[in-house]
Structure 1
């Protein structure tokens, strides 16, 4: 059993970590081997990461599968110095797990997720639902709502989409995303790519890139062909990065926001 206090408010540590007990039943597997099986996980937020991760009481972890890391990746997690390699199902995964230095989190082990391919477990489950990329943040909401607003999107002065039947997706700490019917988007001006991303709230997205000569980052348009049930209303609709296109809503031109995606889009331009 975890030694953490039975409190529901987010707590902080001198190392700058935030943590909160969770009541979800969480399991993680590598191949056919269950590595983690916990009914007392803890959500941890590191200062430099916008998403949470789980840490688990040691008794809920197959410690017999962990080995002191041969090449510990110190500096990759806040203050952490102790890292473990994982040996399961005939496979060795380096730096698959680590411990936080905070006294409040003593006796807990954290694992890499899909943000670092090849360094984490294969599958994670909350209750009976598989989850992807990172744990869902209990303090974050994602709401998709059909609307009759007039939305027009331009790239370098060219209107690439115009609709009065968008779906607005509101996600905590991010700008509103406008999802548009395909027939209201000039898809002839874009080329499909093999780029895909995953989201724990929405699912797996496919992308298109701009075919014109304007300085636009690749993979500027995306869709969720098979979204998660909570946002099923966006299925097959198309969205653009507000950070890189001009969006006008009900006659009002929106300012381009600065978000964690802005730096990513800038790097795409350079590459």
Structure 2
């Protein structure tokens, strides 16, 4: 979703600018030469390499398909891509791209995740107790998003963390596990997250922790901060 969300170039708050400026309602449509499949009721109902990607400012990335590729699925025309239609994401049970199951939206070919070893400092305090204080970190640069520092568990007071029931999924990093801090009688929910089995793009942060600055006192030495 990098072009149209976060600080992406087609988002409502781009990090840079176009000269001359683009129209506010500009839409970018491109061929997507990857195998896209959809499964409903255990049967494959879409299996094509003829999908398009439709990028609209402020909206999730969408697939558009030739009508003959979607069987009898519900659909609507895509004005910016004549001869193609959009199938609602929840019209099928599972979406798959080149063998990888997708969640929420198609992955963006312009999205990039870089995990770089760093000497940037990270200090995390919860309820007056220090959970992290190190300059041995990994900085994750993810297209259109603010950089995030991750830290190896050997630098974390893991004895004060408890796995929570919360989880989330990222098409670029995989399933995230969340952790609550338990400081005496105080419990701060979902103060940290980690990836136990990350996708290949983010293997360098496997098992590492990142912390939510909205739930903990996080002092991070980050680019531009």
For the aligned pair, the TM-score class normalised by the smaller chain equals: 0.7 to 0.9
Aligned with residue 37 of structure 1, among 43, 47, 53: 47
SS at match of 1:233: helix
Matches of 1:36 and 1:101, distance apart in 2: 17
TM-score relative to the length of structure 2: 0.76
Q: Cα gap change, 1:23/1:13 in structure 2, threshold over 3 Å: closer, same or farther? A: farther
Structure 2 runs not aligned, ≥5 long: 1-9, 11-21
Per the TM alignment, residue 221 of structure 1 is displaced from its structure 2 partner at its CA by 0.8
Q: Which one has more relative contact order, counting CA pairs under 8 Å at least 6 apart?
A: 2
Whether the 8 Å contact between 1:148 and 1:164 is mirrored in structure 2 is yes
Whether the 8 Å contact between 2:211 and 2:218 is mirrored in structure 1 is no
1:208 aligns with 2:218: no
Which runs of structure 1 show a deviation greater than 6 angstroms over 4 or more consecutive aligned residues?
12-15
SS at match of 2:201: helix
Per the TM alignment, residue 153 of structure 1 is displaced from its structure 2 partner at its CA by 1.7
SS at match of 2:190: coil
Per the TM alignment, residue 179 of structure 1 is displaced from its structure 2 partner at its CA by 1.2
Per the TM alignment, residue 44 of structure 1 is displaced from its structure 2 partner at its CA by 1.8
Aligned with residue 29 of structure 2, among 10, 19, 24: 19
Alignment partner, residue 109 of structure 1: 85
Matches of 2:93 and 2:148, distance apart in 1: 30
1:99 aligns with 2:99: no
SS at match of 1:230: helix
How many residue pairs were aligned? Answer: 204
TM-score relative to the length of structure 1: 0.64
Matches of 1:13 and 1:129, distance apart in 2: 35
Structure 1 runs not aligned, ≥5 long: 1-9, 67-83, 85-97, 114-118, 256-271
Per the TM alignment, residue 33 of structure 1 is displaced from its structure 2 partner at its CA by 1.2
Whether the 8 Å contact between 1:177 and 1:242 is mirrored in structure 2 is no
Matches of 1:133 and 1:203, distance apart in 2: 12
Instruction: Write out per-residue CA displacement over residues 58-80 of structure 1, whole angstroms, 9 at most, x where no aligned residue.
Output: 111112xx3xxxxxxxxxxxxxx
Alignment partner, residue 14 of structure 2: none
Per the TM alignment, residue 159 of structure 1 is displaced from its structure 2 partner at its CA by 2.0
Question: Cα RMSD between the aligned structures?
Answer: 3.1
